[in-house]
């Protein structure tokens, strides 16, 4: 009888508020003055359109899809990076490494979506860089039309 009561007590403890507690939802903290909402939107876009080729950790695939971690393309000139999304990319070495897969244009994304995903990439995977704005994306698109 004592064993039964002990087992029931343990079960009661396990079925109470302890099990009802939920792990807090992951929140993305604002980085260097970049709004958390922009980073969250960027992460969502990355997950939908970029993750398959560039991987969850931004490490890319050797010889096919370049990494997004600490590369000149990601951390360098924003205009060049925006042009990759607007125009796509093919046959370019990234940090002296050849990558043979074609990066298709992502020009179906809005200016704000491009800004959010590029800001996300520039501030994740060990990267720390300034945000990309929708105005910067719009300026690159306009310059490309000329």
23 domain-assigned: no
Q: Is residue 59 part of a domain?
A: yes
Mean pLDDT over the full length of the chain: 84
Q: Residue range 85-94: average pLDDT? A: 92
Query: Which pLDDT score, from 0 to 100, does residue 71 have?
Result: 93
Per the listing, tokens 């590369």 go with 71
- Could you list the residue range(s) of the whole structural domain that residue 114 is in? 31-145
CATH number at residue 79: 1.10.760.10
Confidence of residue 28 (pLDDT cuts 50, 70, 90): low
Asked if residue 118 belongs to a domain, the reply is yes
> Quick one: pLDDT at residue 20?
39
Q: Which two tokens stand for residue 133?
A: 């704005």
- Domain count within the chain: 1
119 occurs within a structural domain: yes
- Whether residue 25 is predicted with pLDDT greater than 50 in this model: the reply is no
Choose among 108, 144, 127: nearest CA to 39.
127
Q: What is the mean pLDDT of residues 113-135?
A: 97
In a domain, 17, yes or no: no
pLDDT score at 56:
97
Decide if 87 is inside a domain. Answer: yes
- Give the pLDDT band (50/70/90) at residue 146: confident
What's the pLDDT score for residue 32?
A: 65
Residue 30's pLDDT band (cuts 50, 70, 90): low
Answer for the pair 32, 38: CB distance below 8 angstroms, yes or no. no
Is 48 inside a domain boundary? yes
Q: What is the pTM assigned to this prediction? A: 0.78
CA dist., res. 9 & res. 1, Å (int): 12
- Domain assignment of residue 71, yes or no: yes
pLDDT at 60 over 50: yes
How far is residue 93's CA from residue 26's CA, in Å, rounded to a whole number? 35
Please state the three-class secondary structure of the chain as a single string: CHHHHHHHHHHHHHHCHHHHCCCCCCCCCCECCECHHHHHHHHHHHHHHCHHHHCCCCCCECCCECCCCCCHHHHCCHHHHHHHHHHCECCCEECCEECCCCECCCCCCCHHHHHHHHHHHHCCCCCCCCCCCHHHHHHHHHHHHC
């Amino acid at each position: 009888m004592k064993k039964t009561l002990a087992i029931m007590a343990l079960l009661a403890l396990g079925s109470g508020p302890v099990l009802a507690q939920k792990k807090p939802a992951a929140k993305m903290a604002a980085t260097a003055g970049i709004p958390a909402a922009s980073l969250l939107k960027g992460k969502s876009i990355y997950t939908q359109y970029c993750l398959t080729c560039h991987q969850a950790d931004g490490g890319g695939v050797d010889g096919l899809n370049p990494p997004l971690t600490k590369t000149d393309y990601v951390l360098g000139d924003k205009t060049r990076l925006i042009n990759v999304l607007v125009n796509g990319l093919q046959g370019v070495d990234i940090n002296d490494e050849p990558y043979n897969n074609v990066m298709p244009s992502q020009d179906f994304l809005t200016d704000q979506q491009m800004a959010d995903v590029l800001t996300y990439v520039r501030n994740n995977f060990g990267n720390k860089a300034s945000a990309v704005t929708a105005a910067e994306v719009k300026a690159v698109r306009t310059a490309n039309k000329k």
